[in-house]
Amino acid sequence: MIDYEKQSLKLIETAEKLLSDNTVDVVLGVKDNPEVGWPTPYFARKPEDAKKLVWTEDCHVNLANYLTEVKGKKAAIAAKACDVRSIINLIAENQLSRGDITIIGMECAGKMQNEKLASACDACPASVPNLYDIAIAADGSETYKNLEMPNSSENVTEWAIHTTVEERLDRFMKEIDKCILCFACRQACQGCYCVTCFIDRKATPWEQVDADTATKMAFHLTRAMHLAGRCTDCGACEKVCPSGVNLKYLFKGLSEFVEETYDFKAGMDPEATPVLDRYSSDDKQVAFLGGDSIVGI
Ligand code: SF4
Ligand code: SF4
């Protein structure tokens, strides 16, 4: 059970202190936004700004991305376990410096979006972040309660083993059929930080990418491959999608494959070399999602 009022009060007190004693230049959190329907990102830069911060059952936004907006500054961030995995991935990929960041680890047992458990919260392994500097527990104290998590998400590898190619294609096509290529999923993703995305490379700034099936397939499959071993299962891509496209299973399937094949999970260790940066002559050479083995080629 989470006491959001106590967590909010503790967060405000913590942010005021960090800003007053100049430990940080900015505290990143969320503030109420009735127009949107859930709290949205907020940068508190002065001690008096801190009172605008809130912590609620529907503050599901992954704030890790926003740290790159204040790169080079000393920043604190109110972070759930999923945000922290994203921060760790960004540190491991040299996008953020650990020394610049104060992580205020907010205990979380899952967030709500439109009265349902938000995307990816069913997959979260722990209520407690795996890296933090200041703890704010479920009851607002400094001692985490280690709450029980739903941990009931789909095992995509199992699903893939027990389905035909046609069934897998059917699921993918049904999802991309809803896509309008707005790219909100990309913008919300901690791993999509390229200045120019591959899909925009040939487009002039005023040109709308056509939402035809081939382009949608190219975008989603290429993005999935780019996120292999980098997706932190935060669910931000599904949370922001205006069309209800559920494609996180692709990323999850890739993460399961990378973990099983290369014993690596993104977002666990800021010191670990990202899996796509490691090469070894005895790397396993196997295909993804039940394809034929290509060992020996
Ligand atoms: S947010 Fe949804 S509609 Fe927009 S590009 Fe991504 S999947 Fe397509
Ligand atoms: S692909 Fe989706 S779930 Fe994975 S890190 Fe990006 S936004 Fe999060």
- Domain borders along the chain are 4-136, 156-277
Q: Which of 175, 176, 183, 248 to mutate to test the pocket of ligand 1 (most atoms within 8 A of CB)?
A: 183
The answer, yes or no, to whether residue 292 has pLDDT greater than 60, is no
**CA–CA gap between residue 212 and residue 107 (Å, rounded):** 42
The answer, yes or no, to whether residue 66 has pLDDT greater than 60, is yes
More confident residue, 160 or 135: 135
Q: Which of 189, 230, 249 to mutate to test the pocket of ligand 2 (most atoms within 8 A of CB)?
A: 189
Pocket around ligand 2 at a 6 A CB cut-off: 120, 188-191, 227, 231-237, 248, 251
Quote the pLDDT of residue 261: 87
The answer, yes or no, to whether residue 290 has pLDDT greater than 60, is no
Confidence of residue 10 (pLDDT cuts 50, 70, 90): very high
Q: Which atom in ligand 2 lies closest to the alpha carbon of residue 185? A: 7
Distance, CA 16 to ligand 2 centroid (Å)?
31
DSSP class of residue 141 equals S
CA-angle at 76, arms to 73 and 78, nearest 5°:
145
The answer, yes or no, to whether residue 259 has pLDDT greater than 50, is yes
Are residues 239 and 188 in contact, defined by beta-carbon separation less than 8 angstroms? yes
Average pLDDT over residues 37-61: 97
Confidence of residue 293 (pLDDT cuts 50, 70, 90): very low
Distance, CA 37 to ligand 1 centroid (Å)?
20
pLDDT (tens digit per residue) in 263-280: 999 999 999 999 888 877
Ligand 1 atom 1: residue of nearest CA: 241
SS3 159: helix
The ligand that comes nearest to the alpha carbon of residue 180 is: 1
The answer, yes or no, to whether residue 297 has pLDDT greater than 90, is no
Nearest CA-CA partner of 268 in 91, 102, 128, 89 = 89
Q: Which of 174, 177, 182, 240 to mutate to test the pocket of ligand 1 (most atoms within 8 A of CB)?
A: 182
Quote the pLDDT of residue 295: 36
Quote the pLDDT of residue 13: 98
Model pTM?
A: 0.92
Rounded to the nearest 5°, which phi and psi values hold at 105? -80, 110
Confidence of residue 194 (pLDDT cuts 50, 70, 90): very high
Quote the pLDDT of residue 98: 97
**CA–CA gap between residue 204 and residue 202 (Å, rounded):** 7
Ligand 1 atom 4: residue of nearest CA: 182
Query: For residue 279, which amino acid is it?
Result: Y
The answer, yes or no, to whether residue 102 has pLDDT greater than 70, is yes
Average pLDDT over residues 121-141: 95
Nearest CA-CA partner of 191 in 225, 149, 166 = 225
**CA–CA gap between residue 57 and residue 88 (Å, rounded):** 24
Ligand 2 atom 2: residue of nearest CA: 237
pLDDT (tens digit per residue) in 82-94: 999 999 999 999 9
Q: At what angle do helices 213-226 and 165-178 cross, to 10 degrees?
A: 110
Quote the pLDDT of residue 288: 63
Q: CB within 8 A of 67, min separation 6: which ones?
A: 28, 75, 77, 87, 90, 96, 101
- Other beta carbons within 10 angstroms of residue 99's beta carbon come to 8
Distance, CA 229 to ligand 2 centroid (Å)?
11
pLDDT (tens digit per residue) in 139-148: 999 999 999 9
